[in-house]
Structure 1
Amino acid sequence: MAETSYLWEEPEKLRSSGGKGAGKHAASLLAQEVQLAGEAAEEARKNRESRAAKQSAVKPAVASQAGDFVGEKQVLEFACDASFMQGREEVHLNRHVVVKDLVAAAKAFKMPLSLEKPVALFAVYDGHVGPKCSEFSAQNFHKKLLPRLCKTTTEEQIKDSLVQALADLDQEFVSKFRTDRSGCCVQLALLVGRKLWLAQLGSGGALLCEGDQGGFSAFEADMEMEEERIQKAGGQLLEVAPGVRHVASAEFEQRLKEYRIQMAQGLGCTLAPPSTSPFSRALGNRELKPMVSAKPEVHVLSLEPSHTALALYCDGISEVMSSEEIAKALNQLRGQEKRAPGRLAQDAYNRGSEQNLTAITVFFRFPKRGARAFPEPRPAPPAPPAPRPAPPEPPLKAPKVEQRPKMARAVTQDDLREIKAARREQREQQNEAPQNEHLFIYVQNEEKGERHLLEAAGQLFEDEDGHVAHEFLEECAQGLRLKACRRHGSAK
């Protein structure tokens, strides 16, 4: 390409207006603006590149799937989560309740609990026919339970509190909603310390995992065991389909016949079709009382360090997943506790469940080995031993001072006399000093004929009669005492 030189020309306006040199000045200004615009564009490009580099260097943060453990570290900690899904049902009928700290909830209602911590409540309300019963139960069950728990102290009383609370809840719902035909099954767990109460009404189930080998304990309702009770209550188990049995009243066939006749006349129908229930125990279902009982089946379990997780789930999960599959899923998700309930609901949906799906999972964490569930107060540390008296320091010896030898002098007669007098005085003092003789004193026991040694070796004393002995004892009211005496060799 041939090089081409460009020459800037002044616009016609600039040439026609302004004085001499006005065009050149405008050109310089325009050149400065172009230079500044180029610099700004270059700086913007560099900023975009630096931001892109920073975003590529920073890895997207992955949300932690570990559960948030709460409770008492010295007794038991737990991490609980819940998941629900409407699934393929037209209406979501299920409700669930999770209260991690029932003591705090009781304080809000001014009902202090004196139970061992932690105290938690987990419940799945599986509704049928309509959502009214499950909604009412989820909102009011704890209000029935807390006043009773405030007065309980034993395991049996807690069990009775659960039974009575569910009975009162059912009675209140039936009397308050007289035209509602809905009901709900209940899977409920009450955790107090290391004790677990499972209360079950109707379908669904509870599963407690144990150990690392996939062990578990499943608790599910069995309608066949209820047949005798249903017949005594005036009902029957009616087979509505091959292998499917429902609870119905004893007059079900007669009432159904009357209903069909009235419908066939075409003059309007004043009768309601008789209802049946696939559940032998449930809340609500006012038309089938007392065949459908509100008395739950209660299991009391003691949690051990081998227990790892608990699951409460509705019949939408139990119908398509076996207990072994549920336990396997819970064991695989240890450390990812937040995913567990959603995993159960999603797996049940993928397996073709046609119902609402609700699950609650609770993972347990026990204190480490050696920790006490109820630590006793530590004993006060023993008082430090009294410091031993320091050994007496040896007396400081006066430093030896070298003395200069004195000049020898002649011994005089006076010196000799002084020396003899000093020796004489020393001999007299030695004669007057008492002899440290060994003398033993015994006391005679006249009854046993024994002699007891009192004291041995000491100074000799002399009494008023001139007798010399170790010590002189005389009888007195308090026993023996030292008799007045003087030191042997002293002047009388």
Structure 2
Amino acid sequence: MEKESALTQMEKPNHKHAADPFSGEDLVPPMKKAKKSEETGCDTSEGIAKDPKLPSAAEDEKQEIPGGGEAVANTGAKEDNSSCIGEEKKEFLIEADVAEDRGGRHTMEDVWVVLPDASLDFPGKLRCAHFAIYDGHGGRLAAEFSKKHLHLNVHAAGLPRELMDVKVAKKAILEGFRKTDELLLQESVSGGWQDGATAVCVWIIDQKVFVANIGDAKAVLARSSTTTNELGNHAEACNPLKAILLTREHKAIYPQERSRIQKSGGVISSNGRLQGRLEVSRAFGDRQFKKFGVTATPDIHAFELTERENFMILGCDGLWEVFGTSDAVGFVQKLLKEGLPVSTISRRLVKEAVKGRGCKDNCTAIVIVFKHGG
């Protein structure tokens, strides 16, 4: 998107989106299938299970995190993080792919990253995978900048690569978001652009999955009620999978977001938007709204990969406007049972959203499948 058009689109009340395909290719070398993680450092999941917002395997009743709740950054400060203990661990292969469609928009403002194995650029004993969707509004520049810099900034901030430490990982993700937004704001001042971008990001470090989000893009986990040993291959399981929402929406109308904005002098208009214009309350960029409380501080959640985790779906808000979480999980599960490749499944999901269900927004979806090995 040219710099000139980044400002004009802010005139529309809708804070979003839309269109030339843009991948994560210039971030690291072309993706390859993830290798099995090496038997190295690990951590116990006691600290994670104590956090009521996290979808631990023992708490299936917490299937969704309410979107209108009191969203706050989870820094991991309460976690009792211990180092590796000798335990036999299952290995997982990761297969992932992405699809996008500009929907009813004239341009595409979504940007994505798909890296099933980023270990080559970031050496270490722990497997590292990264997936993200950046949903631009008012232009595409902030989304492109975030895509190019966030992953690098998170690693520079100390993402664990030798021994798993949940607190250290969460701290690195928080710092990576902060640094990226700081650099983005500097760039936007010199470039004279004012657009912004929401984000949903996933890092898979060894057996631990970290999900970070700002704005209204979402991540959903598909979890089985029993282990794959009992069901057989996950793609052939007959039982419906549980859809667990891993992210919270950050919108100006939600209580805690509203409180922060009002304390900063911002006004929530009758249409539910900050200063009558911006619907989301957390985003990269949006330089003109930062003084009114818009922040790039993410919610961060983490969970351990077990044989019950089947796949994840990351999607911009365009996808979730026409798909419910359970609906999307059921759609993907059916295609997996048919033996279709992940690339086809992601394309079918987006096609159904746009062509079948009339999504008028940009639509991007990443499907991440966990292959349970020995």
Tell me which of 149, 161, 174 is aligned to 2:172.
161
Matching residue's letter, 1:237:
I
Deviations for 1:80-134, whole angstroms, at most 9, x for unmatched residues?
001111221111111001112221122xxxxx334x22x1000000000001101
Cα deviation for residue 148 of structure 1 reads 2.1
Q: Distance in 2 between matches of 1:217 and 1:151?
A: 26
Cα deviation for residue 233 of structure 1 reads 2.3
Q: Distance in 1 between matches of 2:196 and 2:283?
A: 7
SS at 2:120 equivalent:
helix
Matching residue's letter, 2:326:
E
* CA 130–75 in structure 1, closer or farther in 2 if over 3 Å, else same: same
| Counterpart check, 1:131 vs 2:131 | no
Cα deviation for residue 151 of structure 1 reads 6.1
Tell me which of 291, 298, 301 is aligned to 2:300.
298
Which residue in the other structure is 1:352 paired with? 358
Matching residue's letter, 1:72:
K
* CA 352–150 in structure 1, closer or farther in 2 if over 3 Å, else same: closer
Tell me which of 14, 34, 39 is aligned to 1:70.
34
Tell me which of 255, 260, 263 is aligned to 1:232.
263
Cα deviation for residue 292 of structure 1 reads 1.1
Aligned residues: 264
Deviations for 1:182-201, whole angstroms, at most 9, x for unmatched residues?
00000100001211100011
* CA 303–236 in structure 1, closer or farther in 2 if over 3 Å, else same: farther
Structure 1 contact 276–288 (Cα < 8 Å) conserved: no
| Counterpart check, 1:321 vs 2:346 | no
Higher relative contact order (CA closer than 8 Å, sequence separation 6+)? 2
Deviations for 1:39-74, whole angstroms, at most 9, x for unmatched residues?
xxxxxxxxxxxxxxxxxxxxxxxxxxxxx9533176
Q: Distance in 1 between matches of 2:250 and 2:279?
A: 11
Matching residue's letter, 1:345:
V
Structure 1 contact 128–183 (Cα < 8 Å) conserved: yes
Deviations for 1:234-276, whole angstroms, at most 9, x for unmatched residues?
2232222xxxx1122xxxxxxxxxxxxxxxxxxxxxxxxxx62
* CA 222–294 in structure 1, closer or farther in 2 if over 3 Å, else same: closer
* Structure index of larger Rg: 1
Structure 2 contact 316–364 (Cα < 8 Å) conserved: yes
Which residue in the other structure is 1:96 paired with? 112
Matches within 5 A, 1:257-336: 276-290=277-291, 291-334=293-336, 335-336=339-340
Deviations for 1:439-480, whole angstroms, at most 9, x for unmatched residues?
xxxxxxxxxxxxxxxxxxxxxxxxxxxxxxxxxxxxxxxxxx
Structure 1 contact 208–307 (Cα < 8 Å) conserved: yes
Which residue in the other structure is 1:79 paired with? 95
Which residue in the other structure is 2:217 paired with? 204
Cα deviation for residue 367 of structure 1 reads 2.3
Matching residue's letter, 1:331:
Q
SS at 1:289 equivalent:
helix
Structure 1 contact 320–353 (Cα < 8 Å) conserved: yes
Q: Which runs of at least 4 in structure 1 moved beyond 6 Å after TM superposition?
A: none
Tell me which of 336, 348, 358 is aligned to 1:343.
348
Cα deviation for residue 362 of structure 1 reads 0.4
Deviations for 1:411-460, whole angstroms, at most 9, x for unmatched residues?
xxxxxxxxxxxxxxxxxxxxxxxxxxxxxxxxxxxxxxxxxxxxxxxxxx
SS at 2:326 equivalent:
helix
Deviations for 1:289-308, whole angstroms, at most 9, x for unmatched residues?
04111000111111210110
SS at 2:269 equivalent:
strand
Matching residue's letter, 1:102:
A
Matching residue's letter, 1:221:
E
Cα deviation for residue 330 of structure 1 reads 1.5
SS at 2:93 equivalent:
strand
Unaligned runs of 5+ in 2: 1-31, 38-89, 225-238
Structure 1 contact 93–134 (Cα < 8 Å) conserved: yes
Tell me which of 217, 221, 245 is aligned to 2:249.
221
Q: Distance in 2 between matches of 1:181 and 1:69?
A: 37
SS at 1:163 equivalent:
helix
Structure 1 contact 247–292 (Cα < 8 Å) conserved: no
Structure 2 contact 208–302 (Cα < 8 Å) conserved: yes
Deviations for 1:9-47, whole angstroms, at most 9, x for unmatched residues?
xxxxxxxxxxxxxxxxxxxxxxxxxxxxxxxxxxxxxxx
Q: Distance in 2 between matches of 1:130 and 1:222?
A: 20
TM-score norm. by structure 1 comes to 0.51
SS at 1:162 equivalent:
helix
SS at 1:104 equivalent:
coil
Matching residue's letter, 1:170:
D
Which residue in the other structure is 1:13 paired with? none
Matches within 5 A, 1:4-43: none
Q: Distance in 2 between matches of 1:164 and 1:222?
A: 19
Q: Distance in 2 between matches of 1:235 and 1:209?
A: 38
Q: Distance in 1 between matches of 2:363 and 2:351?
A: 9
Structure 1 contact 130–182 (Cα < 8 Å) conserved: yes
* CA 150–187 in structure 1, closer or farther in 2 if over 3 Å, else same: closer
Matching residue's letter, 1:286:
R
